[in-house]
Structure 1
């Protein structure tokens, strides 16, 4: 599944693709996306989205915005 989505963040338009459909349990959400030509795994185990593998510099606000776009698209909230 490569569902393309886009959103605005800090006056810039970002495109990303959902590579693997979100895995949802009562206390955990995990989704794999292609963002800026890099595959990332986002998780939400609390109220905030974050990267599963934190192996580089990233903008936490950007990751949160991607997660919110996924929440809205798949109605996970």
Structure 2
């Protein structure tokens, strides 16, 4: 899938109280195909912890453009 479903943006920052509901929202984004972007952030609003987690929609991979391919081709072409 080239674009996120339901007209969702490619980049999202999910925020909320540090509770089960927040964890479910992040899990649902991961289930849709988003990937975590960076570490979560934690703050305190005076009454409870507030967390934030960025998620991004992965870009379409370029065929043959992987680390394994690059390593294999450079090793195969090396003369020693």
Q: TM-score per shorter chain, which class?
A: under 0.3
Q: Which has the higher strand share?
A: 1
- Please give the TM-score of this superposition, normalised by the length of structure 2: 0.20
Q: Which structure has more RCO (C-alpha within 8 Å, separation ≥ 6)?
A: 2
- Please give the TM-score of this superposition, normalised by the length of structure 1: 0.20
